[in-house]
Structure 1
Amino acid sequence: LSPIGALLRAGIASRLHSRRVLDTVVSEPGPGLPWYSRVVYVDDQVIYVYTSGMQRAEPRPVWMAQNEGPEFWDERTWWAQRHQKWFKASLNTLGQLYNQSEGFHIIQMKYGCDLREDNTTWGFYQDSYDGRDFLTFDTESMTLGAADIGAQITKRRWDAEVFDNQQWKRYLEERCIPWLRSSLEYGKETLQRKVRPTARVSDRSSHDGLTTLSCKVSGFYPQDITVTWLRNGENRQQETYSEGILPSGDGTYQTWVAMEIDPKIKAHYSCHVEHESLLEPLSISWGKEFVCVSVFLSYDPAGSQKHGSTGPSFLPMWPERDV
């Protein structure tokens, strides 16, 4: 297997849940583009949003609004408003740092935590300025990494005045992971559901007498999936290509994997699909008839399983806690 294939298999074996905070700051706001915005995700679901125009943190899914009261949203709003000021100062500081007086500039910050079913956790922090890496937190060495001279100046100040690597441990254990667990419980019917994929194999004439085989897999959730072509039972992943996993628009995902073959060479080709909703891998042979039959698991909120159903610059490190 390729490293990506191995990673996908690992994700299927131990499902990954994540919480992501994305902060964006722009020097020249416009219609539909506030100068400051915060979007918080759990897995692929936006759970709340704050913008400088709204001036209020607002839940997105009903299950977040129903399970967190006014005090929670007041606190999220207070922190976001406090950090608006710090981000504004950071824009000015970075402009001076890089000798920029005008024009469009953007700060992007992303951080959060991951939780696997075996209860192992992982966290990360990364920010960028004008689309280039700025600072990154290395969870192995518990140190900041700087991408250029400007970032090195910021890193030295953070190391001397602001940064305490124990903040990361406290944030991960006391804030991020508990919030992630709570959200997973609130939204379990959405976030922990398992929807089986359907698969279809097709072919078309290619160049030089070759044939392109395509395997389209759709309607699955969560998005981690492994789709490979087999020739006479052997994995041919190195010969395939794909455009990745894409949203279907209905809360599920889709993907396709294609491979060129010489039809004059007699062989048995099949599309092999692995997904955590399936009790066993789904195999679809190339031929005139396409039959998609699978046995899968679906999420049951009661706990049973059903079988056979069809900163940048000088900002505090962790904007969700008092540092």
Structure 2
Amino acid sequence: MGLSRKEPFLLLLLGVSALLLGGSAGSSSHSLRYFTTIVSDPGEKVPQFFSVGYVDDQEYAHYNASTKRVLPTAPWIRKVDKDDPQYWERNSQVVWNTEQSFRVGLGTLSGYYNQSGGSHTLQKMYGCELRGDGSKGGYRQFAYDGRDYISFDKETLTYTAADVPAQNTKRKWEADLATIQYRKAYLEEICIEWLQRYLDYGKESLLRTEVPEVKVTRKEDYDDMETLICRVGGFYPKEIDITWTKDGEVWTQDVFHGLVSPNSDGTYYTWRSVTVDPKERERYKCHVEHDGLPNPVDVAWEEPDSNLGIIIGCVVGVLLLIGVMAGIYFKKRQDGYKAAAASDQGSNSSGTGTAVPI
């Protein structure tokens, strides 16, 4: 898989994973990422060790710290069983080894920072990207107690320490040239190979496209201004480019945006708003670019169709219906009177010669 026997398999970055999973840069890009976290003195119901793996924004496997097993969470990853029967066993052992090394590392860092007791967190994220233009990216970084600690630069084969204590780790790791070369090879080759395999396994869901629905609404503001809101939903993949334009040029003043959030069906939605002078409303358009669109779209606010015609039509229809029903009613009444008169005449000629008393 994206990890060899020497590399940790699934990694979770607790607390900041949502930020890091915000989507790969560029159109048609794909990523393989692993996150790991270990927490000392965890609170109630909080496990000490977390481990998870993602392809793009889809979790496909995680490590169960209780059973010490890596488990599938996406149906398509089970296709690996045929190609690599030892996949789960091997990587379960790798992640268990990672857990043990993280426990030691957490104690080492407490010493670097002269800490005793308390709750502390060691986190790691690494992975690779295959971008739409064919270029590749890779990253490997660590955090301690929620702050940057150290990161790997595969281009210069060096580590960047975020503070003085991290210099200790930098010196140790940069002295191991063989491991540094392996890290670079993993990020640029092995990780990419596994990413491509996973994309093939899960192509029905990972490589699909869902066309975004774009609608612009408006609301009045208190200061004689108004806000135009561009609502975009039902799209996949997650990467999308939304901008407001004024007279065809990108407009950034008084523009606000929401997060790209998931729908229950696996698609996404988001919004962009801009504050405008109502007199210039028609000059603004919402510009959207997405893999599901053959061409970018520009959507402006449109005056809703008037309901007056519909209301008038409904009223006329009701009046016509009432008229028809009334005609039927009176016709039945008239026919009834005629039938009654004919019946009276028949009685009078029945041979009795006596009129019916009234």
TM-score computed with the length of structure 1 as normaliser: 0.81
More helix by share: 2
How many pairs were matched up?
281
Pairwise CA RMSD: 2.1
Cα deviation, residue 139, structure 1 = 2.4
Cα deviation, residue 163, structure 1 = 6.2
2:67 alignment partner in structure 1: 54
Secondary structure of 1:101's match?
coil
For residues 100 and 270 of structure 2, the distance between their equivalents in structure 1, rounded to whole angstroms, comes to 42
For residues 134 and 68 of structure 2, the distance between their equivalents in structure 1, rounded to whole angstroms, comes to 36
Q: Is the 8 A contact 1:9 1:226 kept in 2?
A: no
Aligned AA (1:59) = P
Alignment partner of 1:184 is 2:186: no
More strand by share: 1
1:42 alignment partner in structure 2: 55
Give the fraction of aligned pairs with identical amino acids, expressed as a percent: 41
Equivalent residue in structure 1 for 2:209, among 194, 200, 204:
194
2:118 alignment partner in structure 1: 103
For residues 41 and 175 of structure 2, the distance between their equivalents in structure 1, rounded to whole angstroms, comes to 32
Range moving further from structure 2, 201-210 or 236-245? 236-245
Cα deviation, residue 118, structure 1 = 4.2
1:5 alignment partner in structure 2: none
Alignment partner of 1:81 is 2:96: yes
Q: Is the 8 A contact 1:9 1:225 kept in 2?
A: no
2:131 alignment partner in structure 1: 116
For residues 73 and 281 of structure 2, the distance between their equivalents in structure 1, rounded to whole angstroms, comes to 54
Equivalent residue in structure 2 for 1:22, among 10, 18, 35:
35
Matches within 5 A, 1:1-323: 11-12=26-27, 15-68=28-81, 69-161=84-176, 164-265=179-280, 267-289=282-304
Cα deviation, residue 59, structure 1 = 0.8
Range moving further from structure 2, 182-191 or 23-32? 23-32
For residues 208 and 135 of structure 1, the distance between their equivalents in structure 2, rounded to whole angstroms, comes to 49
Cα deviation, residue 278, structure 1 = 0.7
1:252-290 residue CA offsets vs partner (Å, 9 max, x unmatched): 111111111111346433222111111112222212239
2:345 alignment partner in structure 1: none
Greater relative contact order (Cα < 8 A, sep 6+):
1
Q: Is the 8 A contact 1:228 1:273 kept in 2?
A: yes
1:128-176 residue CA offsets vs partner (Å, 9 max, x unmatched): 1001111111123110111111110111122235763211232124521
For residues 215 and 103 of structure 1, the distance between their equivalents in structure 2, rounded to whole angstroms, comes to 46
Aligned AA (1:141) = T
Secondary structure of 1:230's match?
strand
For residues 250 and 131 of structure 2, the distance between their equivalents in structure 1, rounded to whole angstroms, comes to 28
Secondary structure of 1:181's match?
helix
Secondary structure of 1:216's match?
strand
Q: Is the 8 A contact 1:247 1:254 kept in 2?
A: yes
Cα deviation, residue 57, structure 1 = 0.3
Q: Is the 8 A contact 2:239 2:290 kept in 1?
A: yes
Range moving further from structure 2, 53-62 or 239-248? 239-248
Range moving further from structure 2, 66-75 or 274-283? 66-75
For residues 71 and 33 of structure 2, the distance between their equivalents in structure 1, rounded to whole angstroms, comes to 16
Aligned AA (1:191) = L
Q: Is the 8 A contact 1:55 1:77 kept in 2?
A: yes
For residues 80 and 106 of structure 1, the distance between their equivalents in structure 2, rounded to whole angstroms, comes to 18
Q: Is the 8 A contact 2:174 2:180 kept in 1?
A: no
Cα deviation, residue 110, structure 1 = 0.3
Q: Which runs of 5+ in 2 are unaligned?
A: 1-22, 306-358
Q: Is the 8 A contact 1:34 1:53 kept in 2?
A: no
Q: Is the 8 A contact 2:240 2:290 kept in 1?
A: yes
Q: Is the 8 A contact 2:125 2:142 kept in 1?
A: yes
Whichever of the two has the greater Rg, that structure is 2
Q: Is the 8 A contact 2:52 2:59 kept in 1?
A: yes
Secondary structure of 2:278's match?
coil
Cα deviation, residue 28, structure 1 = 1.8
Secondary structure of 1:11's match?
coil
